[in-house]
Amino acid sequence: MSEESKPAAPADNLVTTSHTTPSGQSYTATTGTLVLREEVTTDGTFEGLRPKAEVFLTAYTLDGADPGTRPVTFAFNGGPGSSSVWLHLGVLGPRRVVMGDAGALLPPPYELADNEESLLRVSDLVFVDPISTGFSRVAEGEKTAPYHGFSGDIESVGEVIRLWTSRNGRWMSPKFLAGESYGTVRAAALAEHLQSRYGMYLNGVMLISSVLDYITGEFNEGNDLAYALYLPTYAAIAHHHGLHGDRPLADVLREAEEYAGRDYLWVLARGNRLTAAERSAAVAKVAALSGLTEDYVDRVNLRVEHIRFFTELLRARRLTVGRLDGRFTGWDPDAGREHFTADPSMDAIMGPYSAALNHYLRTELGYANDLPYEVLTSRVRPWSYKEFENAHVQVASRLAAAMRANPHLRVHVACGYHDGATPYFAAEHTFAHLPVPAELAGNVEFRYYEAGHMMYVHEPSRLRQSADLAAFVLGEQA
């Protein structure tokens, strides 16, 4: 190919607009794609920088603020394969989706409203869409596989954070990460990566719907831990649907946690060594807590897998319950099915967030792109975990390493009681085993909400979570 016929090298494509918060503060929104480049060296000779990807981001910066004291928070969701739309328009950004809630969903085309509780009140915000999500794509001629895996993802998102920080003069700003779901895996690993690769030490990490150790949620033969750690979530969902009578949720959770954390693990470990009386008592206890029938618990050998639970709990009502948020219910075409065909909580939120994001970027932020905005895509699969070959995926040790090296690093863990994707009791288990000295235990705080994975779709939880996150960034007790 001649020099004249080669396509032009990609360039940053960023649009800047000015806005005002409801309280009268002016801020700047910058949205578009940032080009990532890699150093090319052949036989010891540096040959320049080669474009490798174009990453989509949206940044909000408060006008006139002192960059030396103004915090900045880098936020992303998970999947893998998810864009940052959920945190962006659900709880952190200056605009938010109005979609209703479980049992009271609004019809399309939905609404956008000012988010008066936005974290922008106390921190600048940068929302990052990992490669192949949102409008982020690899550069022409490049392969996607290197970015569709644990290390490639960490390195590319880390490079975005370094570039944005350097170009905007924010190395001396307090810096935070906010990740949700798989985004908590990314955030925990990034805390260590940014330190070791760039010497960038963080002030805090916000883990929303946290899962740092996959063994806590793997329903594999021989791993009884997941069955126990999910039981309090099952109890919470059963309580929401009226299967615990008028008992307070706190009482139900206390009983479920006590049983799951001690007796249930013992029961599962005993296997066929249980006496008939011990097994009968265990079956009755698990059934009472989970809302399932004793017959069902007995038939599954005391081991209730989560998708089976969501399909079974309200079978008598011909309803399924949500995995992301067990407060939501839906219908399956076959009421005798073992596993539901769709998560009713995901069905409920996908439409509102997709419509709002596509409207917002083009109409309010002035960014146009003919590519489809990939809200949640399967194109990143298979996701590579080659770094964990012959071992389960866990990044708690990397977060702990970052905390040991930087004892000022604080961690906020947000949990939804009705979250069937990343159960709160599993997060507690992981952090109870975090390899940090006792002196650093106080650097970790937990906050709980009576909602699910995206707890902010529940308005009381959104308001409280917004206050909790702002307090964390400010270093205050909520």
pLDDT digits (tens, 9 = 90+) for 238-257: 999 999 999 999 999 999 99
Distance CA 418, CA 395 (A): 24
Specify the pLDDT at position 1: 47
DSSP 7: P
Collect all residues with Cβ–Cβ distance below 8 Å to 232 and sequence separation of at least 6: 253, 256, 257, 260, 417, 423, 424, 425
* 8 A C-beta contact, residue 185 and residue 393: yes
Residue 8 has pLDDT above 80, yes or no: no
Distance CA 38, CA 25 (A): 38
Residue 429 has pLDDT above 60, yes or no: yes
Residue 283 has pLDDT above 60, yes or no: yes
Specify the pLDDT at position 477: 55
* 8 A C-beta contact, residue 90 and residue 82: no
Distance CA 103, CA 182 (A): 27
Q: How far apart are the first and last CA of the chain?
A: 61
Q: What domains does the chain contain, in order, with CATH numbers? A: 61-214+349-474 (3.40.50.1820), 220-340 (no CATH)
Residue 478 has pLDDT above 50, yes or no: no
Residues facing residue 28 across a β-bridge: 18, 61
Specify the pLDDT at position 306: 98
Collect all residues with Cβ–Cβ distance below 8 Å to 130 and sequence separation of at least 6: 55, 76, 80, 136, 147, 153, 156, 157, 186
* 8 A C-beta contact, residue 301 and residue 295: no
Q: Could you report the per-residue pLDDT of 187-226, keeping only the tens digit for each?
A: 999 999 999 999 999 999 999 999 999 999 999 999 999 9
% of the chain beyond a pLDDT of 90: 93
Mean pLDDT of 80-92: 98
Residue 4 has pLDDT above 80, yes or no: no
Q: Could you report the per-residue pLDDT of 114-126, keeping only the tens digit for each?
A: 999 999 999 999 9
Beta-carbon count within 10 A of 234 CB: 25
Residue 91 has pLDDT above 60, yes or no: yes
182: Cα separation from own chain's centroid: 5
Mean pLDDT of 362-375: 96
Mean pLDDT of 445-470: 98
269: Cα separation from own chain's centroid: 31
Q: Could you report the per-residue pLDDT of 149-188, keeping only the tens digit for each?
A: 999 999 999 999 999 999 999 999 999 999 999 999 999 9
Question: Tokens 């067990």 correspond to what residue?
Answer: 326
Question: Tokens 């995901």 correspond to what residue?
Answer: 346
